[in-house]
Amino acid sequence: MFFILAPDELRRLRSAKGDPSRRSIVADIEEAAAPEACCAVDKAWYYINSCVKSPRFPVAHQAAQLAVSGGRQLHRGSGYVINLVTESQVEAAADALEAIGEAEFRAVFHAEETFAFNRQHFGYTPDDEKRRYCWTWFQRLGPFFRVAARTGRPVIFTVDCT
């Protein structure tokens, strides 16, 4: 889940002592978030992350990595992610996310390198149904990050991986 942070939410997260405190703050943010300040991507986050980190992902759009796996990691332990994309990074992320077309996404999604680890260890093979599912969720990210850029606010990406 992605959240556009208010200044006080960012201050609370940055000053929090320890992972349990940060997870509690994220729960508060999630509970209080206005619809326009949050963006769900369902389970597609994993596939989107694999695509933007793929060696086949267009170099010109690499700032899209900030969305899921870049930025500053605020959670140190395993099993949970709190990734902060700062105010100075959100515009580059928005530009990159909005510039990726469906044809580029399809090519990266089906590239051998993108899911090589999953193929090797889990027998995973991406198919068009999964790609369409991911593309549907991916298309929400560019406009969402654009809102954050226009308001000068940071974004966090959170996921419980347990």
Which helix or strand (DSSP H or E) is residue 58 part of? none
To which H or E segment does residue 54 belong?
A: none
Query: In this structure, what token pair is assigned to residue 73?
Result: 């990691």
Position 73, amino acid: Q
Residue 4: the pLDDT is 98
Sequence spans of domains, the chain: 2-160
Instruction: Note the pLDDT of residue 32.
Output: 94
pLDDT tens over the chain, length 162 residues = 999 999 999 999 999 999 999 999 999 999 999 999 999 999 888 888 888 888 888 888 889 988 888 789 999 998 899 999 999 999 999 999 999 999 999 998 888 778 776 677 666 777 889 899 999 999 999 999 999 999 999 999 999 988
Q: What is the Cα–Cα distance from 105 to 73, expressed in whole angstroms?
A: 26
Looking at residue 47, what is its pLDDT? 86
pLDDT for 122 equals: 63
User: Could you name the CATH architecture of 2-160?
Assistant: 3-Layer(aba) Sandwich (3.40)
The Cα–Cα gap between 77 and 79 comes to 7
Instruction: Note the pLDDT of residue 102.
Output: 94
> What pLDDT is attached to residue 35?
94
> Residue 20 has which token pair?
């349990």
Strand order across the 80-85 sheet: 38-39, 2-4, 155-160, 80-85, 72-73
pTM over the 0.85 mark: yes
Are the C-beta atoms of 85 and 68 separated by less than 8 Å?
no
